[in-house]
Structures are given as C-alpha cells and as structure tokens.
Amino acid sequence: MRRRVNAEELRSRLSMGGWLSRRSFRSRITLLVVAAVGLSVAIGALISYLSISKAITNRVDAQLKQRALVLASQQLPLYTQQALATQTAAAMLIAAGYQESIVYSDGSSYDPPPETLRVLGNPSATTEFQIAAPHGDPERAIAQTQTGSSLRTVNVKGVDYRVYTIPNVAGNQFNAEPSALVFSVSMASTESTLNTLATVSLIVGLIGIALAGAAGFAIGRAALRPVEELSKATEYIARTGDLRSLPVVGDDELAQLTRNFNTMLEALARSQDHQRRLVADAGHELRTPLTSMRTNLDLLAQVMAAPDNRLPAEERVALMNDVRAQMEELSVLISDLVELSRDEQPSHAIEHVDLRDVVDRATERVQRRAPGLTYDLQLSPWYLDGDPAALERLVTNLMDNAAKWSPEDGTVTVTLADGLLQVADQGPGIAEEDLTHVFERFYRSPEARATSGSGLGLAIVRQIAENHGGRVAAARAQGGGALLGVWLPGTPVAGELPVGVR
C-alpha cells in the first residue's frame, strides 16, 4: 500500500532546499560552482554587451551629428530643396552612408527620390539607395520652433534608423517656410555587429559554464577525497573494531579533522583498554571471595549431609563467619566497582560546601570503625562547589586506608590548608616503587595482598578528585608512614569561587 504524502511534505520535496538536501555533497558542490560561475558569466556578459552597445550607439550618434553639421555647412550646401535634388548631393549622401530630408513648418517635406546605381563590374545589375530620411512629428516640431535638436530611433520596414534633426538656419533664407534638416543613418550594420557580439557572448558563457561544471566536479572530487577516506575508515572501524590512527596528510581543515578523529580514536582506545583491564581485574578480584565462599558452603553442605554431623559447633560458627566476611568483602567490591563505573563529572546534588565539615563527618564514621586510633585534625577553611556525598567518600577512603595501616595506638593526622588535604599514618609507609601506582585500580602492593580490601578505595579517591577538578599524590610521611594528598580547587572565603571553578 502506497503511503499518502501530505501537503507539507510535498512542499518540502518541491522546495529547492529539500531538493538540494537529497543530493550528494559532491553534486551540491558542483551545482553551486556551476550556478556561481554561470551567474558571474551571465552578469559579466550582460554588462559587457550593454557597455559595448552603449559605446557603439554613442559613437554612431556622435558621427551622425558631426556629419550633419558638415553637410549643412556653407561649403557643402545641402540645405535647399534644389541643392538636395542634384546628383552631386545624392552621390555625396550615398558615399557618406546617410539620408537627408527637409521638413517645413507647415507640415510638408521634401524627400529626395531613391537613387539607382549600376553595380561595378556588372552593368546589368543595379542597386537602389534610399536618399530620404524618415521623419515625423518631432522633426516638424523642430521646423516650427526653430530651436533645439532631436535625436531618436525610427523603425522603417523593419530597419532601425538614428534620426537627427536641426533647424535649417542657412536654408531658411531661400525657403518660403521655415524648415528643418533631417539626417539619418541606418543601424543595420551596427545591429548586426551587436547581434554577433551577443552570439559570441552566449557561446563564451556556455563554454564557461561547461568548464565551471568540470572544474566544480574536479574540485568536489579532490576536496571530498579525504572525507570519503575518513568515511571508509569509520565504516572499517565500526566493522572490525580496529582503533588504529589514520594517516594525516597536509595541514588544512581536513587534516585537522583527521587529527581530531585520531584523538577521538585514541580516547576510545584508552577507554576500551581501561574497560578491559577493569573487567579482567574485577573478574580476578571476584574470583577469590567467590571461590572461598563456594569452598566453605560445599564443606558445610557435606557436613550437614553426614549422618553423624561430626563438625564441632565452634568450627561451624567459624565457617559461617568466614562466609559472612567473604560476602561483606564481595559487597564492598561490587559497591566500589559500581562507583568506578560511573566515571562522570558531578552533575547532581551540587552544593557550596566547607571541606572542613566534610572531613569532620568522615572522621566520625572512621572513628566508629577504628576507635583505638587518635585523630589529629588541623583544618583551615576551604570552600568549593561539589557533591558532598562524593567528597565525604573521598575523605573516608583516605582515612580508612590510614586506619588500616596504623598500629593499634597510632595517630592519623589530617591537615587541610589552601585546598590541600593530607592524610598521614604511622604505618610501614609506601615503598618507593609503589608511590606512582597506589591510586590505580586494583593495584595492591605485595604487603597489601595479605590484607583485606578490594584495591579500589584509592582509585575512587582519584576519580572523585579529578571529577572535581583536583589532583592526587602519594609520598612518605616524616614519621615513616604513608602520606596521601588531594588538592581541590576552591577558595578560603565562603561564596567566592574563582573563575573556572564553578
């Protein structure tokens, strides 16, 4: 069943924009080049034709006026009816290519008859020459007023004539009525020249449009070749998953586009690599508690299935506690993985917070889990816009790590000054080769592998810090323990964040 097309869709299909949008980009470039060049050629040809036509017409008019004044002068008296009727006058007008008539103020006129001449070299052939100039009311008006002049175009039997009229000042003394001299010249040869010029301009314009079309096609093909290669590369990447960078040729906008695309590929490759490592590390870390839980549950199942059920009660309790501990470790690991998988800037629950309050709340939570430690807080004001829950998680993870490695009666020192939060413990410290790795996902030093934990706590600290525009670092404390630091952008004055922090 054919789908009905509504009026709006039909107008869209018929519109020029809709038609162009359905064409390929290369064909649109070609069409636009042809249209631009064609319009330029057409305007140029029209301006050239009008300019040349005007120049030729002005030249014809200037020559007509000059010849008219010469023919009407005393040296060549053609201003009387008797003089104009002689063969000398006819020959003079024929030789000059002009026509002449005398128009009187009473409306009458004298129009010399046509002159018939034999063709040179062929006595039997003759040619008739028009001697009389065409005239009408404007010419009679000049004869009546004896002032001014008249210049106009008159069409006679399909032939245009330029007609120039002046008062017959010299001949009026011999005529009974005031008169005017009418001179004309045929525009046939001039119009033939202009027609030839128009034809040549049209042919040159068509050739220019054809060359413009070829040039537009070539330009579109050359200009879009890198885009086509980029399109093929994206199809190949989508099909194969190969994220290798594309070769960059030149230093133009398309080369910049290719470089930007390579930057995107590199970011995507890093993201995929991080994802693979996260999945692999998560699988490795999940395998240990799951294996331990399965072993303990299998052992409990075997004991419960035995008729004598010889396993002592304290051992059963120990097994159940071990299973419960593994479940808690698994829950913490899953929670940490979910936190890391977000990997996003804080976009909700953003508040203007005092980092000192966040540290105080985190200290209360850690103190409940490790009450035997001493917590030395040295805090200066520091305000920033951020997610309070995430920031509290950051501080809590740092202090949990310090509490984990501190001795039973140790002290955890927390300092905050100028946006730098430092947490120091009195534990064994961090080996020099491990300082650059402690904030990596699932990284655990040889000493840490013997303790509980997922290896994700400090990675979460780094992620939260970077999401808030901050940085992390690790060092050895003066007392030999670990010193972990986080810098967060903000201000010591409430409500006055610097530009770029909000």
The three-point CA angle 446-449-453 to 5° equals 140
Least Cα distance to 485 among 411, 401, 428, 410 occurs for 401
Cβ neighbourhood burial of 2 (10 Å; 0-12, 13-18, 19+): exposed
- The residue with tokens 């939260």 is 464
The predicted model scores a pTM of 0.46
Q: Which residue is it, tokens 């586009």?
A: 257
% helix / strand / coil in the chain, to the nearest 5? Answer: 55, 15, 30
438, with CB counted inside 10 A (0-12, 13-18, 19+), is buried
The segment(s) of the chain belonging to CATH 3.30.565.10 are 349-487
| Spans of the chain, pLDDT less than 50 | 1, 10, 14, 450, 498-502
DSSP states of 448-486 as a string?
GGGS---S-HHHHHHHHHHHTT-EEEEEE-TTSSEEEEE
Residues of the chain with CATH 1.10.287: 253-338
CATH classification (class only), 349-487: alpha beta
Q: What is the pLDDT of residue 472?
A: 93
Measured in whole angstroms, how far is the alpha carbon of residue 50 from the centre of its chain? 40
Please give the CATH number for the structural domain made up of 253-338. 1.10.287
Q: How would you classify the pairing of strands 159-167 and 383-386? A: unpaired
The pLDDT value recorded for residue 317 is: 75
Residue 64: the pLDDT is 87
379/414 Cα distance (integer angstroms): 8
